[in-house]
Structure 1
Amino acid sequence: MTDAPPRPAPLSEPERRRLTTSDGVDLDTALLRGDSSGTAAVVLANGFTGTWRNPGTKRVARHLLGIADVMTFDFRGHRESGGLCTVGNLEVHDVEAVVAHLRERGYTRIATVGFSMGAAVVVRHAAMFGGVRAVVAVSGPSMWYYRGSRRMRLLHFGVERPVGRWFLRVARKVRVIDTDWDPVPPDPTELAPRVSPAPLLVVHGDADAYFPVEHAHRLHDAAREPKELWIEPGMGHAERAVTPECAARVAQWLQPSLAPAEPAP
């Protein structure tokens, strides 16, 4: 880690682009350009019902722009993206479409940062596809079908019941599948060991109303080195709970992984 965190950068006008995933879903994406050399990029993956337009996402992006360009997007089934949300399963193809697009544009050093559902997705993506320099999982679940908190019981009601899916579609602009997973995909803890050799940072708040800190410990314990765990005092859930100070430290943590390779002597 470097001595001082990068300073936040002003947000540029987002470069909007439609991408198509390998399974044919149309994604709404936004590329923000920072002060990097032009070959480093960070992919930001929002939580369930989140969007690249969220103030919390933009706040994190401002700090990351000090070290890299930032590309964020709306997952399938969210707002102007096509398809249906599968709540963490097929969304790995969304992240891979964004990463592949960045590679096509000449970015050679790419990291992923995910929040809540997005945290599960970036862990699974790194394990299944590889090719990223570092992974940050913020407020992520360690297992599927967790119902141990009131917020998660409400979320499951929204996903599993017709009236809940209607509410998500009308109030949150999220369209969710109405079928069960078949087969059930490996959960983040099962795939965490395969993130290595990319470093994994697990960030979790001790005031998270969705997933208690045990989820962070399980995910971190399952992963191989290099890995790091931050339990943030007083922090709530996902992108909206990430403070500017925490976002700056995440950028600082990512910076070595995104730095150009030292020239050979």
Structure 2
Amino acid sequence: MFQMASFKIKPEHSGPPELYYNETEASKYASNSHITAIQHEMAERALELLALPEGKCGLLLDIGCGTGMSSEVLQDNGHCFIGLDVSLPMLTIAKDDEDLESGDFVWQDMGKGMPFRPGSFDGAISISAIQWLCHANSSNENPRKRLYFFFQSLYGCLGRGSRAVFQFYPENDAQCDLIMSQATKAGFNGGLVVDYPESTKKKKIYLVLMTGGVAQLPQALNEENDEGRSQIDNAGRSFVWNSRKNEKIVKGSKAWIDQKRLRQAKQGKEVRHESKYSGRKRKPKF
């Protein structure tokens, strides 16, 4: 069912994430526009799968937040967030981002548990991170135990009735079964949502976990029901199609910033004033 997309060595096979994502790799990761666009797109979908009440602005946990790409999506949608990651260089980039002002970051190995009080969060998302726990990087690491402890502590810090959504890249059925079995053992129920299952390029896998009673899983996306959603163009830019004006709004453009400003104003937030510099590309920092 789940096969490796190519013969390229995956990062999780190169050693522990705190060593793989050193200052050099973290900088390359943060400056890659294609990675940024894809991460934003997957975070938007994960947020949608959380199925938060309409209009509710919650406190969300971003597990394996990296340089804050997914945290930015949470903030743009009106939520406060706590980002957690094991790579200090990745977190340093996230903390230095002045635009990420509605949250904070925690340096923590998720395999050692979530260091938060019970019921702290209204939901959690994780983009491309959970598969790292399936690999033992030392003789005293047991993937099964680390996964169980992670899910058990996550269950505790989520409010009842909330969800956690993980986008991940399972290598095979056995790895997927391992992750799901430990989540179930920790108290979660739920299952997989596979978007675009027939597409090699667009296929994405999300594990949707619920803390309340058994509920129906969200509908997966396919070519027939994705109109109006975030997409990636040939230049690796994220955009949303505006059907009223018959044009695409590229993320970071003036039109996109204007939409974001209007959305935040409707939420009662203080927004920065509009200027002629909105949407202009900044010069590299010295």
**What TM-score range do you get, normalising by the shorter chain?**
0.3 to 0.5
TM-score (ref. length: structure 1):
0.33
Larger Rg: 2
Choose between structure 1 and 2 for higher RCO, CA contacts under 8 A separated by at least 6 residues: 1
